Each structure stands twice: as C-alpha cells, then as structure tokens.
Amino acid sequence: MFSIFKHVKGLGLPAVAVIILLVIQAYFELSLPQYMSDIVDIGITQRGVPDSTPLAIAEQEAAGVDFSKTQMRYLLNKGGIMLAFSMIMMSAAILVGFFSARTGASMGMQLRDKVFRKIISFSNAEIDRFSTASLITRSTNDIQQVQMTAIMMLRMIFYAPILGIGGVIKVFGTRTGMGWIIGAAVGAVLILIIILLIIGMPKFKKMPILFDHMNLVSREILTGTNVIRAFGREKYEEKRFDSASTDLMNNQLFVSRVMALMMPLMMFIMNGITLIIVWFGAKGVDLGNLMVGDLMAFITYTMQIIMSFLMLSMISVMLPRALVSAKRVNEILVTEATINDIVNPLDEKVKSAKGDISFENVSFCYPGASDDALTDLSFTACSGETTAIIGSTGCGKSTILNLIPRFYDVTAGRITLDGVDIRDISQSKLRSLIGFVPQKGVLFSGNITSNIKFAGDFITDEQMHDAAMVAQAADFIAEKDDNYESEISQGGTNVSGGQRQRLSIARAIAKQAKIFLFDDSFSALDYKTDIALRKALNKKINDATVIIVAQRINTILHADKIIVLDDGKIVGTGTHKELLKSCEEYCEIANSQLSEKELHTDMNTIITEGGTL
C-alpha cells in the first residue's frame, strides 16, 4: 500500500496539516470529560464550591455568599469552556474532512494519470500480459479503492492512536483504580479484530480477481452480441454471466457480513464494558472512594479508547482489499515496457525519409509462445512501389505489419528504414511516418471530421476532403444530414463495416505518411469500390512505400512485388505472372480465387479490362 505513495506528489503538506488538526481535535475531545466531571462533582454536588468542607461552607454562609449564584456562575463558566472546545473540535473535524478529501482526490487523479500514461506506453506484449479487462479494473475500481482507503487512513489511522493513548493517560488521571477493565476491553477488541482478519483476508484478496473475471465476461458478451445471437447461445452466455456475477456476489456478501458482524460485536463489547464499569464504580461511590463525576469521566474515556480501536478495526477490514488493489496498481506502474526508445535516437537520419523498409533475417516469437511466428524473413519494400503479402490464415502476414511500427520488436535480425534500424529511431518519429489501417476498422466516438483528422490538427479541411474522396467515402458522407459533422458512436457502430473501413483508410491517407500499411483493409469493400479506391490510392500515394496484406488476389494483382508466406516463412517473391510460374503455394491460392480465363489472360489486359491497378 505504502509503496504506491512514491508515485504521487504534493501530498506531504496536506497530510501534515491533517495530522496537526487531528492532534488539536483529539486534545479538546479528551479535555471534555474532565470538565463534565467537574460540573457533576463541583458544579452540582458541591454547589459550585471547589472547597466544600463544612468549615469552608460555614465561613462562606457567614459572609453572606449566595450559593445559587456561585453554582450558576461555575456551571456557566465550565459549560462555556466546553462549548468553545466543541466549536474548535467541529472546525478541526471540518478542516480534516476537507484536507483528507482533497488529498485523496489528488492522489486518485495522479494515480489514474500515471496508470493511463503507463498503459499507453505499453507494447502489445504488456497489454496481452495483463489483459484489457484487468487493465480497465485496475485503472478504475482498484484506484478508487486505494483512494477511499487513503482518505480513511488520513482521518482515522492517525486520529485513533492519538485518541487511544490520550484516553489511557487520562484514565489513570481519574484515580478510579479500575485500569484493569481497560486492559480487558482492549484485549477483547484485539482478539475480535484478529479473528475477523483471519476469516476475511482470503475473501478480500479474491475480490479484485472476481472483478476482473466479471469485467472480462461482460466485455466478451457485449462485443460478441451478434455472434452469440447468430449461434443461439444467449442462454449459455446468460449462465456464464450469471456464474461470474454469482461468484462476485457471494464473495461480496461474505465480506459484507464480516463487516456487518464487526459493529454489533464492538457495540456488545462497549456496552459490556460500560456495565462492568458501572457495577464496580457504584460500589466505589457507595464506599465514598469514588466521585460520580470521576466515574462518568472514566466511562467516557473508556468509550473513547474502545472507539479508537473500533476505528482501527474498520481500517483493518478495509486495508486488506486496499493492499491487494494497491499491489495491482503498482504492478502496472513498475512494469517496464519491453519497447523503449534509445537514449539518443537517430531521428535526424530519417528527417527526410524516402520510406524504404528492409527486413534483414527477421525472426519473431510471441511472448510465451514456443515456436516462431516468423522465421528468417528478408525482403525490401521500396518507396514508390507496392509490396503485397499473401498467404494462408495464420501464416504471419499481420505480424509483419505489426513489427514495422514497433507494436512488437523482432526477436532476431533487424528492420531498417532507409538503412537505419527502426529500434534506433524514436517511436514517435517512426510512427509519424506511417499511415496504418488495421484489419478491423477502428473508429472513435466523435464525428467524421475528428476521426479523419485523428492524426493531428495539422490536417486541413482540404486534405480531409481529398482523403475522403480517395477512400471512396465522400459519397456516403454527403448523404448524411450533417456531412462531416455527423456523429460517430463508440467503435463506429452506427456505420456499416465498409463505411468504417473507408473512414479508416481516409484517416491514414489524410496523414500524408511516407509509409502506408494496409492490413487486409479492403476485405469489407465490394469489388467495384475496391477497384475505384485502389485506382485513386495509386495516384495519391504513388511516391510512398505501400505494403498490403491481403486475402484476395484481385487486391494485389497490381503490386510491384508479391511476397508469399507459408508458416512464417517466405516461399515465393515476384510479380503475379512470375509467381504463377514459380510458386506452388501462390498457384493454389490463384486457382481457388481466379477463373481459368483470368489465369491465362495477360496481366496488362486484366489491369485494363478488369479495372485493377
């Protein structure tokens, strides 16, 4: 828990202010019982006369002293002091609440900011390690738990010891001779706290894990709703959700019952101690060994001592869960990203980059996997050319594209940009040169303008409109009531798959990058739109390096170079015509997708008549 405090700043001063205010509050709270004792023993019993011996009273009566006025004056004086103390206590308590809430809120804000920035810096390897569901829970629920506990700690964990120790000191000042009762009370409270901790600790530790699982199941069901409906698995998913929800509910109920049980047991101990004090105190009053006021003060101090332990017990119940949450948050903050910039990146060497990408004996293995996804790849994608990558599903096509922007780093060999190892270039500079269109079109909540201009404010309206024209998105945008200001919902769910893909392509084109990576980005487009888009694209980015991953041969017939992958290895490189003669794997793909006429038609004829580039 405390290790997480090193990640937040500016909390020292408010925390010191809180401690000082708590000392003030505790001092005046501990002073009140003594004044109450004086009011009872002197103000009421002795009519406001501290020296109430018969001789003293006789002398004062002879002097004509009005005891009713003396008594009233004494009561008003002591009562006024108690009222002033109460006002100071109230003011201190309000300020403690203000500073502790402000400190907790500041701590939560800083932790959320640091966690978010850390997650953004993670490569795909770290994201996969923690899982998206867990990262969401850690960024929200766990930080909230730490924040709430920090506030409680500031308000109670410092106040309780001050109040408890001060109460013990004051108890011995009452001279009642019943200090053993305090020892018995403290022992009973400590035993109760230890038992509750032993029972509840495993459940507290399990709570965040169950939250993670609940979050995971919820996200899977919500994102896969259409698949679930299509396969008629609603009942199964309902049972799966109900199982995760029930596990969480049972755990929460157990924890709640432990906490609910604590308060009645504490009250039982407090009332039992009060009964014991009254029983033995009454005997002392009867024997004349104890004043009624002292007995009342002793009871009050005893309750204050027990209340201080009650506060500590509440913290002790909350602390295990907060410790688990803090550990989970701290895991994110101390995790070092596997992909980092070198100390002195060579950004100047690619300031005027052409965009030539070279793979030199590149191999890659996913974290935790036993076999390489890519093995000994060597090829070059030159500027002004289109390099296509094709192969069977799972052969590593998308992996190649993920290595270029350094979503993952190669495990062997190197990738260069204009002869410079991309690991020697800062990530921000490298990615500023890349226009990336993922396999699944990802849009963000906002409008069409904010999505196409996602790369930055440097994109002008003219460039945005031009990019939309090239991506064949201008027509459907014009049909909308608000055109480019039309709303896009979270994930782009209010547009079709093809429209989502075209907007993703427009977003990459508007960036005016040197390198364009298309990860099967034309799969949701009809044949006519696919042809028109690639024609316009070829004219727009004819000086850039274009790398296309595709499943359809029609998409890559125009490519200057086609790379055929099989099981993570290059099994063929060349043009469409060359590969038909030299690569068996490519021939199999071509035979499955192209007609006999298309296979034997000259490439120039296909490009001219078929409309492909």
Candidates 307, 275, 298, 309; CA nearest to 189 is 309
Give the model's confidence band at 611: pLDDT under 50 very low, under 70 low, under 90 confident, else very high.
very low
Q: What distance in Å separates the CA atoms of residue 466 and residue 145, rounded to the nearest whole number?
A: 49
Question: Residue 375: phi, psi to the nearest 5?
Answer: -135, 115
pLDDT band at 289; cut points 50, 70, 90: low
Q: Which long-range contacts does 192-199 make (Cβ < 8 Å, 24+ apart)?
A: 192/262, 192/265, 192/266, 192/269, 192/313, 193/309, 193/312, 193/313, 193/316, 196/258, 196/261, 196/262, 196/313, 196/316, 196/317, 197/316, 197/317, 197/320, 199/258
What mean pLDDT value characterizes the chain?
81
In 3-state terms, what secondary structure has residue 569? Answer: strand
Q: In angstroms, rounded to a whole number, what is the distance separating the alpha carbons of residues 432 and 415? A: 17
Q: What pLDDT band is residue 65 in, cutting at 50, 70 and 90?
A: low
Q: Exposure pattern of 308-344 as b/e (b: 16+ CB <10 Å)?
A: bbbbbbbbbbbbbbbbbbbbbbbebbeeeeebebeee
Counting residues of the chain whose pLDDT is more than 90, the rounded percentage is: 4
Chain segment 3-56, per-residue pLDDT in tens:
677 777 777 788 888 888 888 988 888 888 887 877 776 766 665 556 555 555
* pLDDT tens, position by position, 174-217: 666 676 777 787 788 778 778 877 877 788 778 878 887 888 88
**Can you give the pLDDT at residue 270?**
78
Q: So what's the pLDDT on residue 359?
A: 92
Using the predicted structure, report yes or no on whether residue 171 has a pLDDT greater than 80: no
C-alpha 367/C-alpha 377 separation (Å) is: 19
Query: Closest Cα partner for 419 from 471, 485, 481, 350?
Result: 350
pLDDT greater than 70 at residue 605: no
CA-nearest of 321, 327, 199, 301 to 257 is 199
Write out the two tokens for 267.
């009250």
Q: Give every CB contact of residue 277 below 8 A, 6+ residues apart in sequence.
A: 178, 181, 295, 298, 299, 302
What's the CATH superfamily of 439-512?
P-loop containing nucleotide triphosphate hydrolases (3.40.50.300)
CA end-to-end distance (rounded Å), the chain: 61
pLDDT at 47: 57
pLDDT band at 67 (very low <50, low <70, confident <90, very high): low
**Architecture category of domain 10-174+319-338 in CATH:** Up-down Bundle (1.20)
Which comes out higher in pLDDT, residue 53 or 293?
293
| Highest mean pLDDT of the ranges 267-276, 315-324, 345-354, 565-574 | 565-574
- Residue 608 tokens read as 């001219």
Once rounded to an integer, what is the mean pLDDT over residues 407-418?
Answer: 89
Rg (CA), the chain: 38
pLDDT of 87 reads 92
CA distance 358 to 421: 9
- Whether residue 427 is predicted with pLDDT greater than 80 in this model: the reply is yes
Residue 437 pLDDT > 50, yes or no? Answer: yes
Asked if 1 and 315 count as a contact pair (C-beta separation under 8 A), the reply is no
> Averaged over 380-407, what is the pLDDT?
87
Residue 603 — very low, low, confident or very high, per pLDDT cuts 50/70/90?
very low
- Res 388 pLDDT > 80: yes
- Pull the structure tokens for residue 143: 């930080």
Query: What pLDDT sits at residue 363?
Result: 92
- Confidence at residue 58, expressed as pLDDT on a 0 to 100 scale: 61
pLDDT at residue 50 in the model: 62
Query: What average pLDDT does the segment 390-419 reach?
Result: 88
| 512: pLDDT strictly greater than 70 | yes
Could you tell me the pLDDT band of residue 604, with boundaries at 50, 70 and 90? very low
Per-residue pLDDT averaged across 399-409, rounded?
Answer: 89
Give the mean pLDDT of 496-525: 84
Whether the per-residue pLDDT at 152 is higher than 70: the answer is yes
- pLDDT exceeds 60 at position 606: no
pLDDT band at 2 (very low <50, low <70, confident <90, very high): low
Asked if 407 and 415 count as a contact pair (C-beta separation under 8 A), the reply is no
Most confident of 166-170, 361-365, 547-551, 591-595: 361-365
Q: What is the pLDDT of residue 63?
A: 61
